[in-house]
Amino acid sequence: MQIQTIGIVGAGQMGNGIAHVMSLAGYDVLLNDISEDALTKALETVRGNMARQVGRGKVSEADMEAALGRMKVTTQLSDLGPSDLIIEAATEREEIKQAIFEQLLPHLKPETILTSNTSSISITRLASRTDRPEKFMGFHFMNPVPVMQLVELIRGIATDEETFAACKEVVDRLGKTAASAEDFPAFIVNRILMPMINEAVYTLYEGVGNVQSIDSSLRLGANHPMGPLELADFIGLDTCLAIMNVLHDGLADTKYRPCPLLTKYVEAGWLGRKTKRGFYDYRGEVPVPTR
């Protein structure tokens, strides 16, 4: 199947990043969100990020303007019906994702491929609630989308080879690398990354080190570009907790038990950079550790 039109559900950090790379790669993009403000902000973000790429010589001014011209927005989910490929990038809550797919189904072409950018939820289970489980798969971009080179492609139990090949072709056209993952909780990247972050929170919780010493140790001792607690704040502590819960529930192994301190931060609404407080306080000029 030849893909040219791409519908994206959700204009947040992931959705606008996906719209950015798809439009630059020459696809016609229709970005959907229930909020007009979110769509306006997404377009501003994409323009600003592309302008930075122009400034660094990575994208020409003409290519930027052409890409922005290929990007349209809508608050009506049904408008995405004629798309060749739909990528759902809404909140990481299964009931919300299922409701989105149920609303989309009556408006889709028979050949439309449905995908989810979920970082942890079962692709097989999401697909089973649609009329096309064989044309459904996981299309998991890393954050920030314009910068990160990996895309996890996750087959559900029913995903056919034609669907996988069509999505792989899209990844190739983006100039990114596809990693094929099986449909087990959290797939590859988060199956490995989130327990490490959770263990860093346990290290803080148990008083083995403070925020600064833990992050410095992993940056300098393991050559990580960002400490695990700083990275958790960047990802969002609510997202980290949600993925740990998926791992714990899906694999029934106590090694995936979310740290109580992570739960406490989320209950406090200290979710990281997006709320200005997490393991660091971002309200001043320089981030300050909160423990």
| Positions in the chain whose pLDDT score sits under 50 | none
Nearby residues of 96 by Cβ (< 8 Å), 6 or more positions away: 90
Active site residue 119: yes
Q: What is the pLDDT of residue 6?
A: 98
Q: Closest Cα partner for 81 from 67, 65, 99, 100?
A: 100
Residue 11 annotated in ligand binding? yes
How many residues are present in the chain?
Answer: 291
CATH class of 189-289: mainly alpha
Q: What is the pLDDT of residue 120?
A: 87
Cβ 100 vs Cβ 71: under 8 Å: no
**Among residues 49, 83, 190, 198, which one is catalytic?**
190
Residue 274 annotated in ligand binding? yes
Domain ranges of the chain: 5-182, 189-289
The phi-psi region of residue 57 (left if phi > 0; otherwise alpha if psi is between -120 and 50; otherwise beta) is left
Q: What is the pLDDT of residue 65?
A: 97
**Among residues 16, 116, 120, 140, which one is catalytic?**
140
- Indicate the SS3 state at residue 92: coil
Residue 245 annotated in ligand binding? no
Active site residue 190: yes
**Among residues 94, 152, 198, 230, which one is catalytic?**
152
| pTM for the predicted model, two decimal places | 0.90
Q: What is the pLDDT of residue 30?
A: 98
Residue 33 annotated in ligand binding? yes
**Among residues 119, 120, 122, 198, which one is catalytic?**
119
Residue 57 annotated in ligand binding? no
The sheet that has 28-32: what strands, in order across it? 71-74, 28-32, 5-9, 85-88, 113-116, 136-141, 150-155, 177-181
Rounded to whole angstroms, how far apart are CA atoms 174 and 240? 27
Rounded to whole angstroms, how far apart are CA atoms 152 and 258? 24
- Indicate the SS3 state at residue 138: strand
Query: Kindly report the CA angle at 30 between 29 and 33, in degrees rounded to 5?
Result: 135
Distance of CA 139 to the CA centre of its chain: 9
Residue 92 annotated in ligand binding? yes
What digits encode the pLDDT tens for the residues 28-59? 999 999 999 999 999 999 999 999 999 999 99
The separation between the first and the last C-alpha atoms of the chain, rounded to the nearest angstrom, is: 53
Residue 209 annotated in ligand binding? no
Q: What is the pLDDT of residue 1?
A: 74
Q: What is the pLDDT of residue 68?
A: 97
Which amino acid is it at 259?
C
Structure tokens at 217: 């140790």
Q: Domain 5-182 is of which CATH architecture?
A: 3-Layer(aba) Sandwich (3.40)
Rounded to whole angstroms, how far apart are CA atoms 5 and 184? 29
